[in-house]
Amino acid sequence: MDSIADQKRKHFRIPYPLQYRPKITFNHKDFFPVIDLSEHGVRFEIPDDETFAYNDPCLLTVFIEDKPRILSGVLAMSQSGCLVFNLPSDVAGLSVAGVTKISIFGKAFTEFSMKSDHIDFAKASEEVLEVLPEIRGEIIFKNKESFEIAGKIIRVMGKETVLFLSLSIPFQKIMREQIELRRRFAGFT
């Protein structure tokens, strides 16, 4: 995969002023502001008071003294940009004692911290991103036009998350957005 610097050269990105940012949603309940977008990527912000939950519950295998225990829960992005696995209520309070590793999407992790209601992958967030499946969502523009998208989270930088798109926004829409932004916000770049 290309570096972000190479992507900026290959794919024109439209930066949005704060007051005109489209919203991205993955569950039609939580809406996150889009910072910039291109045909192949979207960078969006997770505000301080919110978390981004992955579309569907996922399975996680916790190895307690090398004996597997499968848990179903929700993978989410915390306010600090770290990946966390929210524990279901029936296992909340699971003791960290004896947990030797955790496996998610077939990859084992030994760096994590367990809280009473979640498992924090702060130190291994980049590795977890590599094994996450695609997510589907929708971008809703200020003119109420919306497009279905799908892609893979490739980077988390503080509150900002970058989604590399496999189902992208049509080039014609990106051109119309650029024209509209130039008309409304002359001089904004």
Condensed to tens digits (0 to 9), the pLDDT of residues 92-146 reads 566 666 677 888 877 888 888 877 777 887 766 677 778 778 888 999 999 999 9
Higher pLDDT, 6 or 30: 30
pLDDT at 10: 67
- The pairing of beta strand 99-104 with beta strand 41-45: unpaired
**pLDDT value, residue 62:** 80
Please name every residue paired with 147 in a beta bridge, in sequence order, or none if there are none: 139
Q: What is the pLDDT of residues 27-51, one digit of tens each?
A: 777 889 999 999 899 999 987 766 6
What pLDDT, on the 0 to 100 scale, is given for residue 49?
64
> According to the model, what pLDDT value does residue 76 have?
79
Domain ranges of the chain: 4-50+133-184, 55-131
pLDDT tens sequence across 160-187: 889 999 998 998 999 999 999 999 998 7
Are 149 and 139 spatial neighbours (Cβ–Cβ below 8 Å)? yes
Nearest Cα to 58, choosing from 14, 103, 23?
A: 103
Q: Name the β-bridge partners of 139.
A: 24, 147
In CATH terms, is domain 4-50+133-184 a member of 2.40.10.220?
A: yes
Tell me what the pLDDT averaged over the chain comes to: 81
Lowest mean pLDDT among 2-6, 53-57, 84-88: 2-6
Q: Beta strands of the chain (E only): which ranges?
A: 14-15, 23-25, 31-37, 41-45, 52-53, 58-64, 67-77, 83-86, 99-104, 107-109, 113-114, 118-120, 135-140, 146-157, 160-167
Q: What is the pTM of this model?
A: 0.76
- The fraction of the chain above a pLDDT of 70, given in percent, is 81
pLDDT of the residue at 112:
81
